[in-house]
Copies of this chain bind each other. A is one copy, B any other.
Amino acid sequence: MSSASTPFTSPWHLAQRCQRMNPSAIREILKLTEQPGVYSLAGGLPSAETFPVEAMQEAVNRVLAESPREALQYATSEGYAPLREWVSAQMRANGVDAPPERVLITNGSQQGLDLVGKVLLDAGSTVAVEAPTYLGAMQAFTPNEPVYASVAGDALGPLPEAVAALQPRGGSGVRFMYVLPNFQNPTGRVIPAERRDALVEAAQRAGVPLLEDNPYGDLWYDEAPPAPLAARWAEGTIYLGSFSKVLAPGLRLGYVIAPEPVHSKLVQAKQAADLHTGSFAQRVVHQVIKDGFLDRHIPTIRDRYRTQRDAMVAALREQLPAGSEWQAPSGGMFVWVRLPAGCDALALLPRAVEAGVAYVPGSAFYAQAPDARTLRLSFVTLTPAQITDAIGRLGRVLREHLGAPEPQTAP
């Protein structure tokens, strides 16, 4: 085969959807901030200190001793039956009626987002999202070429009147609304029970079903969040759960609970996408959690993250210049900050990195009309002392930029 016979032009023709697929802004920024001497508050990773390595080792030993062939063989697309039963029981305890037959095990809840997009979105159909919303969800939906409708919200969540005004399903109407009710990424806000009721009622009236994403629900530091949206509208809600934040993300294990006829189509989409989720990972995780391990383990994660949350909240109170807005989150991993007028979080990032602190500019999290003054801070990867130091650096950068005075309460 001489290279002379090779045509000069590339033989590849990319699909149209590729024009809208771009590298993750967060990941590209993370690469820039992976420098020695820079405190990164930009990550979305849980603390590796929380990973239960010993329990994993024991579980692996049991699985390889008791069911090595099954753990290493092909398996059903729906997932490992005992794990689906565990999820079902867990959901029932949270007020959601989800029989095991409607649980689909996925490669993390990110794959749940991908499969739901595949099954519910045509090119040109609409997805309603919060403003801001989880960036990764938009990345998962975008290959299906939808349009986004941002739903106005306040500190308690999406506004019911904005939800009620959505165009109903069908054609280019709204196929579903994506909501992250507990300790949202990026804002950290939790939707209270009354707002959940009103939101669900508005969605029912508008005929717009819900996609409820709940990766952070177990990470509460003050009080447990209200029952899921799926507990209020089972037949109109798809629910996504994950083991990434309470066990370990490197196993890539999550689940989708969907009403029929969506569940059956999700299973077919899963089969076409990768046949099934790894049997070994599913059996190991089930072995770890089946006897109540998470009931003992999750409180230790809460204690760790609560201390870090408190350190960040205290430092922000001391260090951020007047005119900064933020809410102390009652769970999750993030604080969402709105800087004073005259600050552009993206434009200020290089100066912050130079001063030794990195964050994620908030504009990436908006489907439309980004608020350039916003930024996201993670409080779970640094120690309390490092957090204090990091927020001190951020405060100095902001005060310098604004020509603001030193904080009165600074040491």
Known: A15-B118, A122-B16, A281-B281. A72 touches B51 (CB 8 A): yes
| B15 in contact with A120 (CB, 8 Å) | yes
A40 in the interface, Cβ–Cβ < 8 Å? Answer: no
Interface string of A4-17 (1 = CB under 8 A from B): 01110111111111
Within 8 A of B (CB), among A108-131: 108, 110-111, 114, 118-123, 125
- As for how many copies of this chain the complex holds, the number is 2
A51 neighbours in B (Cβ, 8 Å): 68-69, 72-73
| A24 in contact with B143 (CB, 8 Å) | no
* Chain B residue with Cβ nearest A49: B69
| A265 in contact with B18 (CB, 8 Å) | yes
Known: A7-B207, A68-B51. A274 touches B13 (CB 8 A): no
Known: A73-B250, A201-B1, A261-B14. A269 touches B143 (CB 8 A): yes
| B252 in contact with A278 (CB, 8 Å) | yes
| Chain A: number of interface residues, binned into ranges | 35 or more
* Chain B CB within 10 Å, residue with most, of A12, A69, A280: A12
Q: Name A275's contact: one of B73, B108, B120 (CB within 8 Å).
A: B108
A401 in the interface, Cβ–Cβ < 8 Å? Answer: no
| A273 in contact with B64 (CB, 8 Å) | no
| B14 in contact with A169 (CB, 8 Å) | no
* Chain B CB within 10 Å, residue with most, of A74, A142, A271: A74
> A175–B10 Cα gap in the complex (Å)?
12
* Chain B residue with Cβ nearest A248: B72
Q: Name A72's contact: one of B75, B77, B236, B251 (CB within 8 Å).
A: B251
A22 in the interface, Cβ–Cβ < 8 Å? Answer: yes
| A107 in contact with B278 (CB, 8 Å) | yes
Binds B, one of A54-62, A154-162, A311-319, A340-348: A54-62
A27 in the interface, Cβ–Cβ < 8 Å? Answer: yes
A386 neighbours in B (Cβ, 8 Å): none
| A272 in contact with B21 (CB, 8 Å) | yes
Within 8 A of B (CB), among A252-279: 252, 259, 261-262, 265, 268-269, 271-279
A69 neighbours in B (Cβ, 8 Å): 48, 51, 53
A271 neighbours in B (Cβ, 8 Å): 23-24, 27, 139
Nearest Cβ distance between residue A19 and chain B, in whole angstroms? 10
Within 8 A of B (CB), among A340-358: none
> A60–B61 Cα gap in the complex (Å)?
9
A140 in the interface, Cβ–Cβ < 8 Å? Answer: yes
* Chain B residue with Cβ nearest A137: B272
Enumerate the 4 nearest inter-chain pairs by beta-carbon distance, A residue then B residue, closest first: A250-B279, A72-B248, A48-B69, A11-B209
